Every structure is written in structure tokens, then in C-alpha cells.
Amino acid sequence: MHPDLEKLILLQAHDVEAKRLRDEMVALPKHVASLETKVKAVEGQRAVIIGLIAKEEALRRRQESDVKDHQAKSARVRKQMDMATTTVQVTAFEHEIAFAQAEINKLEDAEIESMERSEGLEAQKNLADEALADATATLERERVRATETIAQDKTLLAEIEDKRKAERAEIGESALSTYDRIAKSKGTAVAEALNQKCMACQMMLRPQRWNDLRDRNNEETMMACESCGRLLYYDPSRDSPQRKTVPVESIAASIIRSL
Ligand SMILES: [Zn+2]
């Protein structure tokens, strides 16, 4: 293997980890912001339900006051009826009383309907209370986790940046500029070749190139994948003829293990 290639493999591992840390530091505040939005949405839904409950209560207060008005009117008319002198007057008063009673019945029915709506709304409010408590707890937990993780990421990133600087200083200028150029366009610049395939783009290597790559004495050239252009390396310990076979656990053994 070309001496710079080994260093590039290590550099890439640190570049990938640095990118992961940077991505995480960007993603976590967005994640927290999306949870804040969710809490606000649940709060909004709960406020709408509370508003509807208040509306039903106001409606019932009006209905009760209207019932009292009709009852008072009815009582007044009854007194007038006691002093009535003609059947025409009595009939007119009776109509008034019947009308008032019909209104009272209508209002009382409407009041029962309102109470039923309120019951439904109270159930919805309980669900909204639970949803809000859940969303708030999740937000608080994730906010703490994000703060802690970002602080850890910053420390790790600083360490990795120091390592990267030291590693880059050890690599030849031409190898480094090739690495940077490919990494910039492809995301990663070095890829393992395994079973005659580039593991980054999955394309097969021609037999001659595969043989050249596996040639232990070849320390001169760095070989690039003909398909994706990444620098290829070969790890003999991972090649299939030498790969250890994974022992397959018998069904009986796995049952015993799970007891
Ligand atoms: Zn490739």
C-alpha cells in the first residue's frame, strides 16, 4: 500500500466523524425547534377547546336567565288572570302562560344539549392537557439532551480538528490535494475494494486492476476506482478467502439462550 494511502484512510475516518459532529450540531437545534412548534400547536388546540367550553357556559347562563324571565312573566300573568273579568281575557292570559311555558321547555332542552356538548369538550380538554404535558416533557428532555450533546460534540470536534491538522501535515502534498479534490465532489475520497468491488460505488474492478491493488509490493501508485474516481485500498484481512466463517447458532442453543 502506498504510504500516504494509510494516512488518508485515517484522515478520512476523522473527516467523516467531524462531518457527523457538525451535522449533529446543526440538526439538534432544529429538532428542538420542531418540538417547540409542536408544543405551541398543542397549546393552540387546547386554547380553542377552552374557548368553546367558555362559550357553552356563557350560553347556559343566558338560557337560565331567559328561563327566569319567562317564569317571572308567567307568574305575573297568573296574578293578572286572577283579576280577569271576561273569558276573552282569561283565554288571552292562558295563551301567554302556555307560550311562556313552551319557551321555558325549549330553553331547558337547549340547555341539556349544551351540557352534552360541554361534556364532550371536557373530554377533549383532558386529552389536550395530556398531549400538552407529554409534548412539554419531551421538549424539556430533548432540550437538555441537545445542550449536553452539542457541548460534547464541540469538545470532540476540537480534538478531531487537532488530529486532522497533525495528520494532514504528514501527508504528501500531491496525495492531499487529490484527496481534497475527490472528497469535495464525492463526500469521501477513499474507498475499500472488497471482493473485486469498489465499496463506495459498488462497481466491479477489472481483474488486472484488482490484482495490482492486491499486490503487496505495489507501494508506488495509488489506484483510483475507474467508475467513481475514489482512491482504492485493499485490506487482506477482510478479503473473502481469509474471512472467518461466522458460526451459526443452532435453534436449540438460541432457545436456551433466550430463556
Ligand atoms: Zn467506485
pLDDT at 243 (0 to 100)? 47
**Cα(217) to centroid of ligand 1, in Å?**
23
How do residues 220-258 score in pLDDT, each as one tens digit? 778 999 999 999 999 888 876 544 455 556 666 666 666
**Cα(134) to centroid of ligand 1, in Å?**
47
Q: What letter represents residue 12's amino acid?
A: Q
pLDDT at 251 (0 to 100)? 63
Q: What's the CA gap between 131 and 32, in Å, rounded? A: 17
pLDDT at 249 (0 to 100)? 62
Q: What's the CA gap between 234 and 215, in Å, rounded? A: 9
**Cα(246) to centroid of ligand 1, in Å?**
28
- Mean pLDDT for the stretch of residues 137-160: 98
Max CA distance (Å), the chain: 132
How do residues 9-42 score in pLDDT, each as one tens digit? 999 999 999 999 999 999 999 999 999 999 999 9
198: phi then psi, degrees, rounded to nearest 5: -75, 120
Cβ atoms of residues 191 and 230 within 8 Å: yes
Helix, strand or coil, per DSSP, at residue 12 = helix
**Cα(198) to centroid of ligand 1, in Å?**
5
Helix, strand or coil, per DSSP, at residue 43 = helix
DSSP string, 192-239: EEETTEETTT-PBPPHHHHHHHH-TT--S---B-TTT-PEEE--GGGS
Higher pLDDT, 127 or 244: 127
pLDDT at 217 (0 to 100)? 72
How far is the first Cα of the chain from the last one, in angstroms, to the nearest whole number?
A: 49
How do residues 50-108 score in pLDDT, each as one tens digit? 999 999 999 999 999 999 999 999 999 999 999 989 999 999 999 999 999 999 999 99
**Cα(171) to centroid of ligand 1, in Å?**
22
pLDDT at 256 (0 to 100)? 65
Place of cell 421538549: 139
**Cα(192) to centroid of ligand 1, in Å?**
9
Distance of CA 115 to the CA centre of its chain: 38
| CATH tag for 3-170 (out of 2.40.50.100, 3.40.50.970, 3.40.640.10, 1.10.287.1490) | 1.10.287.1490
**Cα(225) to centroid of ligand 1, in Å?**
5
**Cα(138) to centroid of ligand 1, in Å?**
43
**Cα(167) to centroid of ligand 1, in Å?**
24
pLDDT at 242 (0 to 100)? 46
At residue 1 the predicted structure's pLDDT band, cuts being 50, 70 and 90, is: confident
**Cα(200) to centroid of ligand 1, in Å?**
5
Boundaries of every domain in the chain: 3-170, 174-242
Q: What's the CA gap between 125 and 119, in Å, rounded? A: 10
